[in-house]
Amino acid sequence: MPDFSNMAIAAAFDELGDLYELDGAVVHRVLAYRNAARSIREAPVSVAELARQGRITELPGVGRTIEEKTLALLETGTIPAAEKLRARFPAGLIEMTRLPGLGPKRARMLYDELGIDSLDELREAAQAQRLRTVRGLGPKFERNVLDALEAGLGEAPAPRVLLPRALGLGEQIRDALRAHPAAVRVELAGGVRRLSDSVKDLDVVAAAEDPGALAAALAEVDVIESASSAGPNAARGRTHNGMAVDLRVVEPGQFGNLWQHFTGSARHNVALRELAVRRGLHVSEYGILDDATGETLRCADEAAVYERLGMAWIPPELREDRGELQAAAEGRLPQRLVELEDLRGDLHMHTTASDGRNSIEQMAQAALARGYEYVAITDHSATHGFGNHVTADQLRAQIEAVREVNARIDGIEVLIGTETNILPDGSPDYDDDLLAELDWVVGSVHTAFGMGEAEMTARLVAACEHPWIDCIGHPTGRKIEQRPPYALNVDRLVEAAARTGTMIEINSAPDRRDLNDVHARAARDAGVRIVVSSDAHGAGTLPNVRWGIATARRAWLTREDVANTLPWAQFAPLRKRACRG
DNA sequence: GCCGTTTTCGGCCCGACTGTTTTCAGTCG
């Protein structure tokens, strides 16, 4: 039996949580399954292997019961409890709970009392006004169900928006509101502030002397198609391209509480509040209530919120309940996360020699203008598969061309490299002799994505063991919101990279950000040198490193953890080829 | 179901809105 990926194991426990919820289990038991699922999904190591080694309970939120169920899943391909519950609750019930206002309790009532177990039956029953015969449901509920079905909700969850687009929209809204006379302060919160891979909506928070006036102003913002009041000091709207926007406004004295609350993540906030309760404090968006005095502390800034809870202010990128609260309480947060300005070079970019839009010279000049001290030109190799391949002879010519540009342009080291395809057997696309002539070699997978996990892992481990591959590019092949990573045991790759001195890239293309935050953190912890690269296909996308830096920050990386923050003289000897004596 | 510098049992965040109620359950973020 092929091994279960972390994603697959996590999905099994999410489903089990849904099923237990329909079964009427206490909410904390359901949450326990969802917690475990999240923990498994995010684990930087193979959870199947962990389980076989008897170590799965090392994951937070995984105890004896979930260990047993995981082992059953690995051995038999299914979890017995899930089988039993599936027999009792048709899959359509879980689908029904995707509709707004229709949760597990109501889905269960509709099933028990009216036998409804699909969206189609739900629609028919609503049209026939039969839903109102269930106690607690009325005509409004029927109307809402029909509207939601009409709007196509329930078909599929709304797509999430990649960070750059969401951030761009958010900044426009923020800036427009800042121009309003009532505004004292306007900031982005939520996933865009945490620089997540993608977000489902935009959260904007503000302070104003007259909160209601500013909340009402959301409807006037250019990018907003429509907005309506959502309480006295709040508004909810939608952009012209369909993104949901939530605005909350308070008086300046409690802005810190509001910003902290709406920045999240939900997990971070839950963990923060649980910790607070143990100290007799209750945290909400309005303040911190002290049991002992009955007083509520309101904070104008976020640092005061964290300070009252006995911890340092936590950078938003770290607020994912991944150990940041304990670190903040113990003074163990990273002193200073890596910043865009720390980068001194970019080691992955393309030119017209393959599928880029600009020449070597144009890329070099653009890099110089960004203040870089070095760049590597890394065009695709011969089996790239998109027709823009660089043959060995063409690469030899490219070596000369890059050397010529390098000799001509002052102030920047222009290096000749390649992004060689890693063939299915793990070998690169050019002969060793040719690779040895280059300054820098990135090895990436661009073909044969469908291999099994064992083969794909062996392929990338072999690439790490190759003497002339300096760095692995976009190691998991994921495209955010588009395609999952190929089957790969990332911890094996990280192990091999650490052992061989192969660097690993955080590819900054906004739909890649690969390695992701969790894996990049694990790679750093394993002693792997991380490189943040643009993978630019034109001068205009060199600034994409911003998104790679965002991922590096979410991975807790400091300047010291990112190799291309070093000047070339210090970076060059770290390359595998330079270590070969 | 998980978890523990107050606990191996008894807890497990906080607030708001909605629609249906006659005091509140369910849902959502």
CATH code, domain with A286: 3.30.210.10
Whole-number pLDDT of residue A580 = 67
Q: Which residues contact A421 (CB under 8 A, 6 or more apart)?
A: A380, A381, A382, A383, A384, A385, A428, A429, A443, A444, A445, A446, A447
In this complex, the answer to whether residue A105 has its CB under 7 A from any atom of chain B, a nucleic strand, is yes
Closest residue by C-alpha to C1' distance, nucleotide B25:
A136
pLDDT for the residue numbered A389: 79
- Find the Å distance, CA of residue A106 to C1' of nucleotide B21: 16
With CA of A30 and C1' of each nucleotide, the nearest comes out as B1
> Which residue is nearest nucleotide B29, judged by alpha carbon to C1' distance?
A266
Distance A271 CA to B6 C1' (A): 19
Do A476 and A455 lie in one domain? The reply is yes
DSSP-derived 3-state class of residue A186: strand
Whichever domain contains A406, its CATH number is 3.20.20.140
Same domain? For A425 and A509 the reply is: yes
Would residue A570 count as lying in a domain? yes
- What local confidence, expressed as pLDDT, does residue A383 receive? 72
Q: Please give the Cα distance from A273 to A415 (Å, whole number).
A: 51
**pLDDT averages per 10-residue partition of chain A, 581 residues:** 85 96 94 96 93 95 96 97 96 93 95 95 96 94 95 83 97 97 97 97 95 93 92 91 94 96 95 93 95 93 96 97 94 96 98 95 98 97 72 95 98 97 95 97 95 95 98 97 93 97 98 98 98 98 98 98 98 92 52
Give yes or no for CB of A77 within 7 Å of strand B. Answer: no
Between CA A437 and CA A510 the distance in angstroms is: 32
The Å distance, CA of A103 to C1' of B26, is: 7
Q: Chain A, 282-341: which CBs lie within 7 Å of strand B? A: 282-286, 289
Q: Based on the structure, what is the number of domains in chain A?
A: 4
A243 & A303 share domain: no
My answer on whether A101 and A123 are in the same domain is yes
A255 CA, B14 C1': Å apart: 17
Q: Measured CA to C1', what is the nucleotide nearest A25?
A: B1
A265 CB closer than 7 A to any strand B atom: no
Predicted pLDDT of residue A156? 78
Determine the distance between A289 (CA) and B12 (C1') in angstroms: 19
Cα dihedral: A386, A391, A392, A393 (round 10): -160
Q: A79 is in which domain, residue-wise?
A: 6-150
Residue numbers 505-544 of A with CB closer than 7 A to any atom of strand B: none
Q: Are A236 and A247 spatial neighbours (Cβ–Cβ below 8 Å)? A: yes
Backbone angles phi, psi at A189, to 5 degrees: -130, -160
CA of A264 to C1' of B15 (A): 15
Q: What are φ and ψ of residue A31, in 5° steps? A: -60, -35
| The last residue of a domain, from among A234, A250, A266 | A250
**Residue A438 shares a structural domain with residue A457:** yes
Based on the domain organization, do A208 and A312 belong to the same domain? no
Last residue of a domain, which of A278, A300, A329?
A329
Minimum-distance nucleotide, CA of A102 to C1':
B27
Q: Of chain A residues 196-225, which have a beta carbon within 7 Å of strand B?
A: none
Query: Are A229 and A376 part of one and the same domain?
Result: no
The gap between the terminal CA atoms of chain A, to the nearest Å, is 44
Tokens of A69: 């169920």
Chain-centre distance of CA A502, in angstroms?
A: 24
A548: tokens are 């790679």
Q: Which nucleotide does the CA of A272 lie closest to, via C1'? A: B13
Q: Is residue A71 in some structural domain?
A: yes
Q: Which nucleotide is nearest to A101 (CA to C1')?
A: B27
Same domain for A414 and A541, yes or no, is yes
Q: How far: A537 CA to B24 C1' (Å)?
A: 59
How many Å apart are A104 CA and B20 C1'? 18
Bases of chain B within 7 A of a CB of the protein: 1-3, 6-7, 11-21, 25-29
Among residues A250, A268, A302, the one where a domain terminates is A250
User: Is strand B less than 7 A from the beta carbon of A57?
Assistant: yes
CA of A236 to C1' of B1 (A): 36
Q: Are residues A195 and A230 in the same domain?
A: yes
**Is the CB of residue A97 inside 7 Å of nucleic acid strand B?**
yes
Cα distance between residue A194 and residue A174, in whole Å: 16
Q: What's the CA A315/C1' B3 distance, rounded, in angstroms?
A: 27
* Cα A100 to Cα A150: distance, rounded to the nearest angstrom: 13
Residue nearest B11 (alpha carbon to C1'): A28
A292 falls within a domain: yes
Residues A182 and A90 in one domain: no
Q: Please state whether strand B lies within 7 Å of residue A449 at its CB atom.
A: no
pLDDT of A244 reads 94
SS3 label, residue A193: helix
Residue nearest to nucleotide B21 (CA to C1'): A136
Could you check: is the Cβ of residue A106 within 7 Å of any atom of nucleic acid strand B?
yes
